[in-house]
Homo-oligomer: A and B are copies of this chain.
Amino acid sequence: MIRVQVEIRLRKGVADPEGDNVTKALKLLGFSGVRGVHSAKRFLLDLDTKDAKAAKRDVEEMCRKLLANPVIHDYAISLVK
């Protein structure tokens, strides 16, 4: 089994309302030193294969087809040891 991590971030310039709201909430809680917060999503995928290269290629396709929205998202794929 191979475990692959996918991190799905918002592209530069795309609004991040979740991050903005977390920033506001933290300031209201008294954390005045918070300049900004960026939110992202992470998936760990367990794949039934031993071929790391094929696993990465599959996950790349999963990102294109389901996990990420190419209009607003960037993603990074990495193997987990």
Contacts and interface: CB of A to CB of B under 8 A. Distances in A.
Contact of A31 (B25, B33, B35, B58): B58
A46 B39 contact: no
A55 to B, nearest CB: 8
A66 B26 contact: yes
B38 A44 contact: yes
A7 B42 CA distance: 9
Interface of A: 1, 7, 19, 22, 25-26, 29, 31, 33-49, 58, 61-62, 65-67
Q: Which 7 A-B pairs have the closest CB atoms?
A: A33-B48, A35-B46, A38-B44, A40-B42, A36-B46, A33-B47, A42-B42
